Amino acid sequence: MMLLRVPIALILSLALLVGCSSSRGPAFDPDDPLASTRGEQTAEEMYAEAQRLLRRGDYIGAAERLEDLQARYPFGAYFRQAQLDLIYAYYRGWEMGSSIAAADRFMRLNPQDPNVAYALYMRGRANLERGNDFLTRTFRIDRRTRDPEPARQAFADFAELAERFPESQYADDARNRMAQLRNNLAYYEMHVADYYMRRGAYVAASQRAVGVIQNFQGTPAVEEALGVLAEAYQELQLEDLREDVLRVIQENFPDHPSLRPGLFEQLRGEAG
């Protein structure tokens, strides 16, 4: 076999040419799944790739591209929109803590921006989903009986949105969610009150019931709270207080199960 003898200088020159050619990189294609690893991208290219990942449902991948864009082009034209998209990407990727952090960051950096309404709305949605963890979804646990702190945070977010941006496109939905959250929070309080009643902790149960009556007027839980309060006072032998509660029940909920036939008339006669 004949071996070709190529001068060393020619080999080196060819290597340099190949190196220079490859350093330019291929043209950017946002539909290329390897685009993020090839060459230096412009802000526009990075944003286009993040949008492609969002459309594909790769929300965490999109979030990573948006984070990179903000780090590389902190003063560019796409910076603010990338902040907003990042809130959504983390939310859809089920990274609620990161979505909340992204919303907080947007509001801190852009306090006068009209899109603060959107950031508040998404922070409320993310806080609401914090209580919907894997076990809750898998075993279909009633979320109203779980830790109420995420619901309280969500309620505060929606309330701030409704107060600061009452004409926002998100305000009506925020108010609807607030009404449902009040019902859920009141339900949780009665869930705890029932727990105390079953264990004979009547003082603690009565305190929970009073809290529902004071703080959650207009919710279905108020009727139940009055019944628990009447029963707790009976167990504590606080008959005067129990009679007062039964009168309130008679005036507001005449069909309440606590009012057995003739009971209210009997109490009224005893009081007279």
CA angle 133, 225, 254 (to 5 degrees): 130
Alpha-carbon torsion (197, 202, 204, 206), positive or negative: positive
Residue type, 202: Y
pLDDT value at residue 272: 44
CA distance 145 to 38: 50
The parts of the chain modelled with pLDDT lower than 70 are 1-39, 131, 133-139, 260-272
Per-residue confidence (pLDDT) for residue 143, from 0 to 100: 76
- For residue 114, the model assigns a pLDDT of 95
**Domains in the chain and their CATH numbers?**
41-110 (1.25.40)
Distances (CA, A) of 267 to 223, 224, 231: 20, 20, 15
Cα 270 from Cα 254, distance rounded (Å): 20
Average pLDDT score over the chain? 84
pLDDT digits 0-9 by tens, 46-89: 999 999 999 999 999 999 999 999 999 998 899 999 999 999 99
Q: What is the pLDDT of residue 251?
A: 94
187 touches 134 (CB < 8 A): no
Residue 258 confidence (pLDDT): 76
Which pLDDT score is estimated for 4? 36
Q: Does the model's pTM come out above 0.85? A: no
Looking from the CA of 261 toward its CB, the CA atoms found within 13 Å total 0
- The DSSP-derived string for 26-72 is PPP-TT-TTGGGSSPPPHHHHHHHHHHHHHHT-HHHHHHHHHHHHHH
What was the pLDDT predicted at 136?
Answer: 65
**Residue 32: predicted pLDDT:** 52
